[in-house]
Chain A
């Protein structure tokens, strides 16, 4: 039996549920692996787990929000033969990564300013918060499994890789970014064939009734499909909700937000630029009041927007 450990950083639990919900597929994996640590599902103390010299596969979930998260992630990663960065928090920082451009003190104040009573001065301490980071900022994983949480496609690919690893002891071409190497848009069930998409303006999601079956961009609705890796089977689009980009960029290391800006430039009012002119184009673009939250909702921490912020702060 090989040893498998599931180690969470700052998590919401969704990745745990995704893994636990695999049911029979998970049982198949557990024919090869013994779970030596998984705090959400298995009653084993961390101190016992840390006594082990090595683990074969480490599945890291969640982001890094405290020094404890960072210390634990580094310590267990050093012992792991195969490191899996599981879920978009771990790979790209995910939604909590929107806080990565703020200091822990700024984050604290947003809460502290709203409570009724504050009590200071206790002797007990807590882990020191750090500027939020993804697991991939600390460690170079062997397998990247994005998704919020990872969807069937990614889970199946991951299980296959881990089972093959258990059988052969080999893992080719590291790091492996799971999902299909194309944008979600490329096989969208709504894709208006190969014809050019024309975005008729920008409609905020509170202004519209999205139509079923029709390209969101063609309805004026921001959809991250063009800039997002195909890590799912169009989960949200199929239930008539635009892609928000939880799969991250098409290629590891590229930038979803900047890709999306390019795409928007290519599709927004392309049939009438010379009528709308700069003023008309600006008017539509200015309806987007939140570029960061719209284009970098899941990937801010790993983006050039984050690096610009750090540069600005002198970090």
Chain B
């Protein structure tokens, strides 16, 4: 990997949480894209020394988009450290909140990023502002559902992000009849909006020639391992078996004990990125090769599961499979559609949970259990499998933390996907002096499909010290490192 020189930097890749850039590098023959995540935070370090019961709050600050996922997974890791099993009511409360988190995040992504990206293909700006001017109806759906969901979230955990719910072995507060009544009325509204969204997606996107063209494009393909939780063969978001399927859809791993994730996920740290490049451990690491790449998130989850609970979700899932020509799903543009399937799934699961008496009655915390030195939690966050792995001493103080986020896991896949689109980019820079808007749009679309959240990914840091050389401009260099063009 040594010796690559940067040719082009697009700074920053807008509409990606956190700050990142894409650098296309060549050694004169090969062209590779490096998706650089540039922020530097390091939650692994600051977790050490903390009271373990504080970790769910502390670690939720990793990400403001999916803070509940971090809060919940951290809680599971701490449960495991203390050897506790949350009572049914606590488990259902957490499960419910995880569904709300995924629903909320997916709706945010679909409306702020996914729809503008797909509907405004070919436009100069592809963001919510432009979507509002061109399709005010669907754009306003987004704003409406968000404020409703945010209100519910605030009611349940106090804040719209970095809320407070998890105690070791349970939750601090049980939901009440009134909470659920409000949630049901919120859901009714959200459900209507989601139905509008679904119809819009079907009519304006799924049936469009543009979408079908994208589905056929090789640079959007990703044939690698998919990882996610399942319960039996069903899609599962909070607690289940960690399953890996290969690029042919064959099950290659089923991990019951979360701590055994280390047999499946390997992590490589490279000097050009603040996030690690994870890989399927038995196959890797093979950088820039689909052969050892792990993909997580909505698309991967639909690859590991055979069915999607929920009537409408299941129906939408069927349509997706038909459009894709069967499984495994291997085109990253389908991420958006998979997100829609999960939106429907979450809605239906939340509806079911709000009918459950067990959510309203019973113990909130189980204080029994024997502490142990290591605890691992795994949940499916909106963007995919999220792992927190902690160690503590006998004073219940954290001595080590490792966090593997879905964005980090997808880093490897993003690099490969961008690499596929890079040959044309380099070609255009060489012949035209600059990349075409279409090619630049392809880059951004690939990144947005994965919905990376770089705040999450920068729990990781780079290796080696080197001089500052980041420019927030587009820079084009030839193989000798000479500047051909910069914008």
A residues with a Cβ closer than 8 A to B are 8, 10-18, 20-21, 23, 35, 39-47, 50, 65-69, 72, 94-96, 98-99, 102, 104-108, 110-112, 114-129, 148-149, 151, 204-207, 209-210, 212, 232, 235-241, 244, 246, 289-290, 292-294, 297
Contacts and interface: CB of A to CB of B under 8 A. Distances in A.
Contact of A289 (B128, B162, B397): B397
A14 B61 CA distance: 8
A109 B49 CA distance: 16
B319 interface: no
A126 B36 contact: yes
Contacts of A289: 51, 395-397
Contacts of B269: 111-112, 115, 117-119
Contacts of A116: 266-268, 281, 285
A246 B160 CA distance: 14
Contact of B34 (A15, A94, A98, A124): A124
A203 B70 CA distance: 25
B154 A235 contact: yes
B165 A239 contact: yes
Given A41-B128, A114-B44, A239-B158, 4 more contacts: A17-B64, A23-B147, A43-B129, A122-B1
Interface of B: 1-6, 11-12, 14-15, 17-19, 23, 25, 34, 36, 38-46, 48-54, 57-58, 61-65, 67, 78, 82, 108, 112, 116, 125-130, 143, 146-147, 150, 154, 156-165, 167-170, 172-173, 266-274, 276, 281, 285, 287, 364-365, 367, 395-397, 400, 402, 453, 455, 458-470, 472-474, 487
Contact of A206 (B6, B45, B82, B461): B82
A244 B54 CA distance: 9
Nearest to B70: A12
B61 A12 contact: yes
B59 to A, nearest CB: 9
B124 to A, nearest CB: 9
A119 B268 contact: yes
Nearest to B486: A47
Contacts of B272: 122, 124-126
Given A13-B18, A118-B463, A125 B267 contact: no
Contacts of A293: 49-51, 54, 58
Contacts of B164: 235-236, 239, 241, 244
Nearest to B272: A124
Contacts of B285: 116-117
B51 to A, nearest CB: 5
Contacts of A122: 1-2, 4, 270-272
B397 A290 contact: yes
A236 to B, nearest CB: 4
A42 B124 CA distance: 12
A44 B462 CA distance: 28
A124 B6 contact: yes
Nearest to A39: B14
A294 B194 CA distance: 41
> Do most interface residues of chain B lie in helix, strand or loop, or is the interface mixed?
loop
Contacts of A14: 61, 63-65, 67, 161-162
- Give 10 nearest A-B pairs by CB, closest first: A14-B64, A241-B164, A235-B158, A107-B42, A13-B64, A98-B46, A124-B272, A12-B64, A43-B127, A117-B268
Highest count of chain B CB atoms <10 Å: which of A42, A127, A292? A127
Nearest to B4: A123
A121 B2 contact: yes
Contacts of A111: 42, 44-45, 269, 276, 459-461
B392 to A, nearest CB: 10
Given A127-B40, A239-B165, A289-B396, A210 B172 contact: yes
B158 A124 contact: no
A62 to B, nearest CB: 9
Contacts of A118: 268-269, 463
29 contacts: A11-B18, A12-B161, A17-B108, A46-B472, A47-B472, A47-B473, A65-B41, A66-B39, A96-B43, A108-B462, A111-B460, A114-B400, A115-B268, A117-B269, A118-B463, A119-B1, A119-B287, A126-B274, A126-B470, A127-B38, A149-B64, A238-B158, A239-B158, A239-B173, A240-B172, A241-B165, A241-B172, A244-B57, A290-B50
Contact of A126 (B3, B5, B38, B127): B38
A239 B158 CA distance: 6
A201 to B, nearest CB: 16
Contacts of B116: 43
Nearest to B454: A13
Contacts of A50: 472
Contacts of A205: 51, 53-54, 167-168
Contacts of A44: 14
A123 B163 contact: no
A10 B457 CA distance: 12
A107 to B, nearest CB: 4
Nearest to A286: B395
Contacts of B468: 67-68, 125, 127-128
B37 to A, nearest CB: 9
Nearest to B129: A42
Contacts of B63: 12-14
B462 A239 contact: no
Given A117-B268, A209-B367, A106 B126 contact: no
Contacts of B162: 14, 148-149, 246
Contacts of A124: 4, 6, 23, 25, 34, 36, 271-272
A49 B105 CA distance: 28
A68 to B, nearest CB: 6
B22 to A, nearest CB: 11
Given A11-B18, A122-B4, A294-B51, A110 B44 contact: yes
A46 B11 contact: yes
A121 B464 CA distance: 8
A66 B38 contact: yes
A293 B48 CA distance: 10
Given A114-B44, A116-B281, A206 B53 contact: yes
A141 B202 CA distance: 48
A271 B19 CA distance: 53
A114 B460 CA distance: 10
A168 B366 CA distance: 57
B455 A11 contact: yes
A171 B34 CA distance: 45
